[in-house]
Structure 1
Amino acid sequence: MKKIIGSLFFLAISICSCNSQPSNIQTPTDTLPIHIQRFDKALLAYIETQDTTLEKELLKEYPAMLDIVGKGILNLQSPEISGFFDQVIAYYSEPTLKNLYKDAVREYDHVTDIENQLGKGFAFLKVNFPNMQIPACYMHVSGFNQNVLAADSLLSLSIDKYMGEAYPLYQDFFYDYQRIKMQRTLAAADYLAGWLMSEYPFEGNENILLDRMIYEGKIKYIVHLALPEITPAQLMGYQEKDYEWCVANELTLWNTIIQRKHLYTPDQITTSKYLDDKPCTFLSDETPGNIGTWIGWQIVSSYMKENNASLQTLMQQQNAQEFLSQAKYKP
């Protein structure tokens, strides 16, 4: 099993920057919706009725989902072990979680919009990564646990993390800068990002900022090309004014990172600050969170313009220092 991957108007310069598409990037001619298999609904029916006859049906219809949910959320090794379903019921019967579960299934009763987006997004990935397998897509509820679950041919999204930033329960658990990403409009984008990360796992040094920012920037770059209707600000989880601030201050941000010698210093704590959703107030009071990913996205855009590379080449280039040199990034 692969590693578990733990939502309209902008400055013209920002749109131009992020939408430029090198000629080596392919565009699909035909797209069909991706059917989402509703493991979330099937499991809720079992939890609410506690009908043991449904256990065999779940094992028959969703063996891989039971396995990955058991390992990724419940810390259980196999759905075949004695007491597996008892622990599933115990976990999901907690009153707050059970109400959240029912709210999520009600909110996502129909998912045609997401299936259509996934069809377009995965068609884009397939034409640019011909050897990439398209996964079977599911939905689950994790109780604010694992957001995206990925296995060899399976991808599932935890829909309780996409209830809209005004969802009442979120007010007790999440900050404003976290809730802005918890929207239906970002569900398809997170499916695609989760699969890209599963197919192309990070191979750099976790403690080196340049390694992390380029990797995260690659993911944002590709997802935006696959789903261009999701604006750069939405994809970053920014308010429009915050995105525009980044564009206006790109040179200052880059110079600050260089001057502080943060780009190559193997300092996990410092590097994490650049990738955290929490506002990067250690740089300035106005700097939004995850600024490392945003700058990484700009570096990737520059690399693609300079090299007219295919997306396969983009993801295969693992040397961050060489990548930066070839990008000729000049904010």
Structure 2
Amino acid sequence: MKHVFLYILVVICFFSCKEENAADLAVNQHKVDVVIERFDQQFAKTNEKSLPDIKRAYPFFFPKDVNDTEWIEKINDTLQQELAQEVSRVFPNFEIYESDVELLFSYIHYYFPTFKTPRVITTTSNVEYRNKVIVTDTIVLLALDTYLGRDHYFYEGIPRYIAEHLDKQEIVVDLAGEYAKKYIFQPKRKSLLDEMIYYGKVLYFKDKVLPFKKENERISYTAEQLDWTINNESSIWRYFVERELLFSTDAKLPNRFINAAPFSKFQLEGIDSESPGRIGQYIGWQIVKAYMENNDTPFKDMLIMDAEDIFNNSKFKPKKNNG
């Protein structure tokens, strides 16, 4: 019996590895070419004479009801100049991140062959960290002033748990997350489980298209935060089940366990201060992983499945606590 169980594990591993190897091989043979357009640098160098040229190249940045005088005033504004200088200092070139974007797009194209490579344009946004990345069918905008490093002086006054993610290592992870939202559909998102599975899909999407990133980087945790979550997975799951939270539609639950926060709010002394935020996203990720390991559903089909169908057929069992 022991040998049969071992054989089954080997077979599962073989087919799983075979699929991942096929993706890696295809991407290595057919990488998508991306040219990053540094609008931020071009705009900072623009003057009254060259303004018409940049407006023709990037018409979507220039509303018709704003006259040229206002654009020149913005270029010459000392705060805008400081913003541009800091972005150029942190990102004198974009080669490393361009390579990451190329890999991301290559994996997306492998899994979604109709994917068309968009224009990728860097800009600034007055540190509008809620919109670090904007994705449309044809254009990607990357606001580089929201990736200057967690300790940058521009971010003083921003809550620490948010500032920690205003770092250049998050660029391709955020971009993958925005593309995940374009491919995922869930007919309803009412219960905590709905939210967990939705973000579990987002994270599983990142697993597929960001295999060159570490697991903790895909969920934007530190290595220590991920270790804590793995080591306490069973207790976290028991907490959700015993308090009957999975199918609850309590509007407070997303803020406690799904949304960005300094920690997850179990309302238990000690645990709250130790736990990372978004713990519900992590559990949803594990449920989706379990579903994909125990079913033959194609990746693209899973992304549009009902949350309860995924949960009911996942055979999810949390990892036992360590220590």
Same fold (TM over 0.5): yes
Asked if structure 1 preserves the Cα contact closer than 8 Å seen for 2:185 and 2:303, the reply is no
**Corresponding residue for residue 248 of structure 1:** 231
Assess, with a 3 A threshold, how the Cα gap between structure 1 residues 182 and 189 changes in structure 2: closer, same or farther: same
Assess, with a 3 A threshold, how the Cα gap between structure 1 residues 112 and 252 changes in structure 2: closer, same or farther: same
Residue 313 (structure 2) pairs with residue 326 (structure 1): yes
CA distance in 2, matches of 1:152, 1:32: 16
Point out the structure with max Rg over C-alpha.
2
CA-CA distance at 1:200 after TM superposition: 2.3
* TM-score normalised by structure 2 residue count: 0.81
CA-CA distance at 1:313 after TM superposition: 1.6
CA distance in 2, matches of 1:89, 1:294: 47
Identity %: 23
CA distance in 2, matches of 1:174, 1:216: 23
SS at match of 2:141: strand
**Corresponding residue for residue 45 of structure 1:** 45
Residue 204 (structure 2) pairs with residue 221 (structure 1): yes
CA-CA distance at 1:168 after TM superposition: 2.5
CA distance in 2, matches of 1:93, 1:273: 44
CA distance in 1, matches of 2:143, 2:208: 24
For residues 103-141 of structure 1, give each alpha carbon's deviation from its aligned partner in whole angstroms, at most 9, with x where no partner exists.
013311211111111111111111111122222211111
Assess, with a 3 A threshold, how the Cα gap between structure 1 residues 104 and 294 changes in structure 2: closer, same or farther: same
Assess, with a 3 A threshold, how the Cα gap between structure 1 residues 221 and 87 changes in structure 2: closer, same or farther: farther
Structure 1 residues 196-211: aligned runs within 5 Å? 196-197=180-181, 199-200=182-183, 202-211=185-194
CA distance in 1, matches of 2:291, 2:67: 49
Residue 166 (structure 2) pairs with residue 178 (structure 1): no
Asked if structure 1 preserves the Cα contact closer than 8 Å seen for 2:210 and 2:218, the reply is no
CA distance in 1, matches of 2:193, 2:71: 41
Asked if structure 1 preserves the Cα contact closer than 8 Å seen for 2:119 and 2:138, the reply is yes
Equivalent residues, number: 292
Give the aligned CA root-mean-square deviation in angstroms: 2.5
Unpaired runs of 5+ residues, structure 1, are 1-19, 68-78
2:278 aligned partner, one-letter code: N
CA distance in 2, matches of 1:35, 1:104: 18
* TM-score normalised by structure 1 residue count: 0.79
CA distance in 2, matches of 1:223, 1:89: 41
CA distance in 2, matches of 1:214, 1:321: 9
Unpaired runs of 5+ residues, structure 2, are 1-14, 319-323
Pick one of 183, 189, 192 that aligns with 2:176: 192
Asked if structure 1 preserves the Cα contact closer than 8 Å seen for 2:256 and 2:265, the reply is no
